[in-house]
Chain A
């Protein structure tokens, strides 16, 4: 079975989407139900800043990988299964 390496990137993108939604829910909770004080603003800022840092560092590594590469898995397995000679 052959598929592009970018398939993993697609799964990662889906994870990022889910992570983004939950991050927005968390920030919404902070401001909707929290106290309007320095701690609320500061912790939310720290959360966003560290998240951006993780995403930036991830991008630095991810951008260097050639995602167009095709990979083959289970080839021998399938060949052995369907080889009746």
Chain B
């Protein structure tokens, strides 16, 4: 189990599952990154075919060196932030609640939670060709008194996760009924 600093940890609370978006979503982002690495190589190959003296110019050569360096540093940073966005967007399912942690851009972070005993309805959805093939999809959790649904976005095996949430919610409801 991954070590996670659970905020406002409840007594006897245990982390059951930590979910991220499906690995395929990260692979799509890596593919874009690879394309961004290759693009300047193709572009420079074409440019050198048209202007063979480009790398010998007193101004063009330093400009090319600086531009290439800046470009690769930028896309490397861009990729790292993309990875962080994937890595830090998590849904934590504990035996007491579900927590949604979303990283929005550089400086925004949204954390929301719902208690399991308040859950009324859990719906899983797999829609489209790629989600069906790679078995990822969404889960909508409807809670009592809340108009807004809790949303698990592009997670692997949503059907299994839905069943698990339903089981945990039933257990939590029974526990809170017994206490009251």
* A interface, CB within 8 angstroms of B: 5, 8-9, 11-12, 15-16, 19, 22-23, 25-26, 29-30, 33-37, 39-40, 43, 47, 50-51, 54-55, 57-58, 61-62, 65, 67, 69, 71
Interface of chain B residues 75 through 110 with chain A (CB within 8 A)? 76-77, 80-81, 83-84, 87-88, 101, 103, 106-107, 109
- Residues of chain A with a CB closer than 8 A to B45's CB: none
Interface residue? B134 (CB, 8 A): no
Q: How far is the CA of A47 from the CA of B101 in the complex (A)?
A: 23
- Residues of chain B with a CB closer than 8 A to A5's CB: 58-59, 62
Q: How far is the CA of A55 from the CA of B70 in the complex (A)?
A: 9
Q: How far is the CA of A62 from the CA of B84 in the complex (A)?
A: 31
Q: How far is the CA of A8 from the CA of B61 in the complex (A)?
A: 12
Convert B17-60 into 0s and 1s, putting 1 for each residue whose CB lies closer than 8 angstroms to a CB of A.
Answer: 00000000000000000000000000000000000000000110
Q: How far is the CA of A25 from the CA of B107 in the complex (A)?
A: 9
Is A26 within 8 A of B62, CB to CB? Answer: no
Is B3 within 8 A of A65, CB to CB? Answer: no
Q: How far is the CB of B130 from chain A (nearest CB, A)?
A: 25
- Residues of chain B with a CB closer than 8 A to A22's CB: 77, 81, 106
Q: How far is the CA of A58 from the CA of B58 in the complex (A)?
A: 17
Q: How far is the CB of A46 from chain B (nearest CB, A)?
A: 9
Q: How far is the CA of A26 from the CA of B88 in the complex (A)?
A: 11
Q: How far is the CB of B91 from chain A (nearest CB, A)?
A: 14
Q: How far is the CA of A22 from the CA of B4 in the complex (A)?
A: 24
- Residues of chain B with a CB closer than 8 A to A19's CB: 70, 73-74, 77
Q: What are 15 contact pairs spanning A and B, CB under 8 A?
A: A5-B58, A5-B59, A15-B70, A16-B73, A19-B70, A30-B84, A33-B103, A34-B88, A36-B3, A47-B76, A47-B80, A54-B72, A62-B66, A71-B58, A71-B59
Interface residue? B63 (CB, 8 A): yes
